[in-house]
Amino acid sequence: MANELALKYGCNPNQKPSRIFMKDGAELPITVLCGRPGYINFLDAFNSWQLVKELKEATGLPAAASFKHVSPAGAAVGLPLSDVLRKIYFVDDAELSPLACAYARARGADRMSSYGDFIALSDCCDAETAKLIAREVSDGVIAPDYSDEALEILKSKRKGNYNVIKIDPNYKPAPIEHKDVFGITFEQGRNELAINEELLANVITENKEIPSDAKRDLIISLIALKYTQSNSVCYVKDGQAIGIGAGQQSRIHCTRLAGNKADIWWLRQHEKVLNLPFKEGIRRADRDNAIDVYISDDYEDVIGDDVWAETFTEQPAPLTREEKRAWLNKLTGVALGSDAFFPFGDNIERAHRSGVCYIAQPGGSIRDDHVIDTCNKYNIAMAFTGIRLFHH
């Protein structure tokens, strides 16, 4: 390890010089085992590492995150995958360790957004996880360690230039952090708030039943939000984020964006989508793009385009608006976290359409009564955490 590491450039190629370093002269808590990570790579790596470390501490399960532009595209814990999830995540041919399950869930929930991601793993990267990473398009990975076999697999990716970072899991940053903006230094205490079930004790709706699995999912959503650019909302089901809305100026736009992603995740499990007649040899990314268009309302407008003749053995019949709504009505048991209070009940209306049954949010809006009434209308259980999770 060293005190500093020179980087090729900053956020953009014209921003030079660039480096990461420790101001107090201590050694950096990371070792680059392969590749040459850049400025944005390290921003993603350090944010995502904190997220998976906290997920592991909160749930006791191995965790993984898929980051793009300093926000998670996906985050999950290592629960087993159903046959349907194995298929839509393209891992039905793979051996899956618990950590590999976590990565498959984190990478697979929003495959469009995860394309070219940076990966974080809470545990030592095993060969099963490395094999999944090796066949996806990504920029790099950070983990506390790597098995010998896993490291050899990862070092062979990108002709030996794949970014592999090892981080000291015992590293603890100083309690005060700094950030320079426009030549001016900002200082604040680190957000060391522990996110656990105690934050879910204040259930203020008529329905006060939040089962243990839903509490786990609410905790996952809140930890994910702690490291998502604000404003942000996160939908979680069965141990994985299925829709994250990040960096929106309006809360309802966060809820809509994340809800639309959750809807797409669920629609990908529809029988028509599972049985799309793809030609042999179609790349994963091309399948993802085709599925995204097929699910969208634009599909009927592009039927007959040459690209579809190159993708499918025959033109698939559309998934109609009525079929979509009927399938979406089957989605239920979704947990939703918000990094700040919901100002109006329209957020709850939108969340309900994507199967949300449990909500955790800070509370404190002058319209809390309206938000609570809307939850009661749909028998949604909502906890006021009393804490805000802005991240900038």
Domain boundary among 110, 143, 172: 172
43 and 165 in a single domain? The answer is yes
Domain assignment of residue 181, yes or no: no
Our answer to whether residue 352 is catalytic in this structure is: no
Domain boundary among 172, 202, 221: 172
List of residues 6+ apart from 296 with CB closer than 8 A? none
Our answer to whether residue 172 is catalytic in this structure is: no
Q: Which of 53, 56, 68, 215 is catalytic?
A: 68
Domain assignment of residue 326, yes or no: no
Q: Report long-range pairs for 186-191 (Cβ below 8 Å, ≥24 apart).
A: 191/226, 191/389, 191/391
Dump pLDDT digits (tens) for 81-140. Answer: 999 999 999 999 999 999 999 999 999 999 999 999 999 999 999 999 999 999 999 999
Q: What is the DSSP string of 310-321?
A: HHBSSPPPP--H
205: domain range? 191-267+331-384
105 and 218 in a single domain? The answer is no
Angstrom distance (rounded) from CA 25 to CA 6: 15
37 and 165 in a single domain? The answer is yes
**What integer pLDDT is reported at residue 305 of this predicted model?**
67
3-state helix, strand, coil in the chain (%, to 5): 40, 20, 40
Our answer to whether residue 231 is catalytic in this structure is: yes
Our answer to whether residue 178 is catalytic in this structure is: no
**What integer pLDDT is reported at residue 306 of this predicted model?**
66
- What are the pLDDT tens digits along the chain (392 aa)? 678 899 989 999 999 999 999 988 889 999 999 999 999 999 999 999 999 999 999 999 999 999 999 999 999 999 999 999 999 999 999 999 999 999 999 999 999 999 999 999 999 999 999 999 999 999 999 999 999 999 999 999 999 999 999 999 999 999 999 999 999 999 999 999 999 999 999 999 999 999 999 999 999 999 999 999 999 999 999 999 999 999 899 999 999 999 999 999 999 999 999 999 999 988 888 899 889 989 988 777 766 666 677 888 888 888 999 999 999 999 999 999 999 999 989 999 999 999 999 999 999 888 889 999 999 999 999 999 999 999 98
Dump pLDDT digits (tens) for 165-195. Answer: 999 999 999 999 999 999 999 999 999 999 9
Whether the CB-CB separation of 324 and 306 falls below 8 Å is answered with no
Here the tokens at position 122 are 């809470």
9 and 82 in a single domain? The answer is yes
**What integer pLDDT is reported at residue 304 of this predicted model?**
63
CA dihedral 43, 44, 47, 51 (to 10 degrees): -170
Q: Which of 47, 163, 231, 347 is catalytic?
A: 231
Domain assignment of residue 165, yes or no: yes
| Percent of the chain predicted with pLDDT > 70 | 98
The average confidence (pLDDT) of the chain is 94
> Of 238, 237, 228, 232, nearest to 263 (Cα)?
237
Q: Tell me which DSSP letter residue 330 carries.
A: T
Q: Which of 23, 159, 172, 392 is catalytic?
A: 392
Helix 346-353 / helix 368-377 crossing angle, nearest 10 deg: 30
Q: CATH number for the domain including 365? A: 3.40.140.20
Domain assignment of residue 199, yes or no: yes
The domain tally of the chain equals 3
Tell me how crowded residue 329 is: count the other CB atoms within 10 A of its CB: 10
Domain assignment of residue 63, yes or no: yes
Angstrom distance (rounded) from CA 260 to CA 264: 6
165 and 309 in a single domain? The answer is no
Q: Which of 69, 272, 370, 391 is catalytic?
A: 69
**What integer pLDDT is reported at residue 176 of this predicted model?**
94
350 and 236 in a single domain? The answer is yes
204 and 275 in a single domain? The answer is no
378 and 291 in a single domain? The answer is no
Domain assignment of residue 286, yes or no: yes
126 and 253 in a single domain? The answer is no
Domain assignment of residue 183, yes or no: no
Domain assignment of residue 128, yes or no: yes
357 and 222 in a single domain? The answer is yes
275 and 263 in a single domain? The answer is no
∠ Cα 189 172 70 (to 5°): 70
155 and 72 in a single domain? The answer is yes
pTM: 0.95
Whether the CB-CB separation of 289 and 103 falls below 8 Å is answered with no
